[in-house]
A = this chain, B = another copy of it.
Amino acid sequence: MTPQEAYRWLLEHSRETACLASFARLAGWDQATYTPKKGHAHRAQMQAALAKVLHQRATDPRIGEMLAVVEGSDWLGAPESVEAVNVREWRWAYDLQTKVPERLAVELAQATSEGEAIWQEARPKNDWAGFKPALKKIFGLTRELAEALGYREEPYDALLDQYELGATARQLEPVFAQLRQATVKLLERLEGSARKPNTAILRRFFPQAAQEAFGLEALATLGFDLEAGRLDVVAHPFMQGIGPGDVRLTTRYDEGYFNTGFFSIVHEMGHGLYGQGLLPEHFGTPMGTEISLGMHESQSRTWENLVGRSLGFWRFFWPKAQQYFESLRDVRLEDFHFAVNAVEPSLIRVEADEVTYNLHIMIRFEIELALLRGDLSLDEAPEAWDAKYQAYLGIKAPEIKDGLMQDVHWSAGLIGYFPTYTLGNLYAAQFFAQAEQELGDLEARFERGDFAPLLNWTREKIHHQGSRYWPRDLLRQVTGQDLNPQFLIDYLNRKYTALYGV
């Protein structure tokens, strides 16, 4: 068999697998939107049957054989050629899939499935004692998983790799530390300011139909193609990319609070633009696939925060907002803009503002890393959690359900996942600074409703690249330098000292 033939086989196999995986995503979207109440049990059986097919395809030994034929062959071309990138990533995925012994995969699936159920039950009751054994089991199995996967420097890296290719704990630690110190300092200054936003104006009446119409208008204006996507209502918003021409956003509406609906629409749209920006001719191959969760988050945070919470953005959208919402007609633009950028230390990550959000992430990162390294035992974790909230945010959860037990992630086995949220914010700021250097003042453009230059820039520089570069390499490629937290720090300092007058 020639390398070309082996490559062709891999291409076909990869594309077909991706088409089958599209069904899993479609069915997942449908579960959150339109599945009737009594249809969920069957849906779980459907997903299990498909997962089995997908697993068989992903671990098909022929993949290994074909890769062996094509790898290292001259035919592949430069390391950044389409073919070389696809082969590199297919190899990575195949090794990831085949390194884990079936026994461990099954035990992990079972432990996390049980873990989630136990968490659901235990959290509202603050039942740490009831939850701890399940969590202990999951952390134990995850440590085994890390060993099976292998790592560069320490077990945590193997976990990170699943979500953020090439990232390591030792790389992240100094970056996060620098961001944490700067954030804590900024937060202290903001808290000392006499100028406070009037967030009550966000708590007026915003009819759902008007929120939807305004959201759809914003999507169209920002460049989301509504003929290649949709917007639906769910309990927990997400973006689901089914495939080329079909990228689905979801949101939820709170008629008594502006931010819930609008900013989740813009956030999910950021993810969706990444999905719509992938090159359709590469669908089903690494070259047509998003490179990492952190990179994905960088796109959602760009549109949610750097664009959607900017003054330029609201200068443009303000007349429309006032048309859609009667309750905003007596509000000043500047007061509204200050209100949607209110900073307030809070206990719950998912409700956190742009400044404090990363502190929530870093606390989780520090704790899961210490647990993995054996520097902390699970028994000590709640206390460590509270101490860090006190130190970084100046507050402490009165109950563990709003403390260590607030997120589903660990019970679902998502360990090494949290850092991708802050990486997203860091990438976003660094990309945005680069885009401004190349395109000039972006806020001035937003003020004129001119969002296309930024979108086109991210399309060309990021979306079209698919998985050509690992995240840090892509960042370096686009911005000319390594990950540097100073971009996010500068952005936050500039924006919030101006807003709070400190």
Contact = CB atoms under 8 A, between A and B. Distances in A.
Contacts of A35: 246
Interface string A416-451: 000000000000000000000000000000000000
A16 interface: yes
Nearest to A284: B45
B245 A42 contact: yes
Interface stretch (A111-119, A225-233, A395-403): A225-233
A21 to B, nearest CB: 9
B245 A38 contact: yes
Interface stretch (A23-31, A313-321, A339-347, A406-414): A23-31
A53 to B, nearest CB: 7
Given A27-B26, A36-B226, A36-B227, A283 B244 contact: no
A29 to B, nearest CB: 9
State the majority secondary structure of interface residues on A. Answer: helix
A23 B50 contact: yes
A228 to B, nearest CB: 4
A472 to B, nearest CB: 31
A42 B242 contact: yes
Interface string A238-268: 0000111110000000000000000000000
Contacts of A20: 46, 49-50, 53
A34 interface: yes
A48 interface: yes
Contacts of A40: 245
A283 B226 contact: no
Given A36-B226, A227-B38, A228-B38, A16 B49 contact: yes
A27 B23 contact: yes
Interface residues of A, number: 38
Given A41-B245, A245-B39, A46 B22 contact: yes
A19 interface: yes
Nearest to A283: B42
B38 A19 contact: no
Chain copies in the assembly? Answer: 2
A461 interface: no
Nearest to A44: B19
A243 B23 contact: no
A103 interface: no
A52 B19 CA distance: 11
A230 B36 contact: yes
A332 interface: no
A236 interface: no
A229 B34 CA distance: 10
A277 to B, nearest CB: 14
A65 B2 CA distance: 36
Contact of A39 (B30, B41, B53, B243): B243
Nearest to A229: B36
A239 to B, nearest CB: 14
Contacts of A246: 35-36, 38-39, 42-43
A37 interface: yes
Nearest to A24: B23
A23 B228 CA distance: 21
Contacts of A38: 225, 227-228, 244-246
A228 B36 contact: yes
Interface string A205-231: 000000000000000000001111110
B26 A30 contact: yes
A16 to B, nearest CB: 5
Given A27-B23, A52-B16, A42 B244 contact: yes
Nearest to A43: B246
Given A16-B52, A37-B227, 19 more contacts: A19-B45, A19-B48, A19-B50, A20-B46, A23-B50, A34-B34, A35-B246, A36-B228, A36-B245, A38-B228, A39-B228, A39-B242, A39-B244, A40-B245, A42-B242, A42-B243, A42-B246, A42-B283, A43-B243
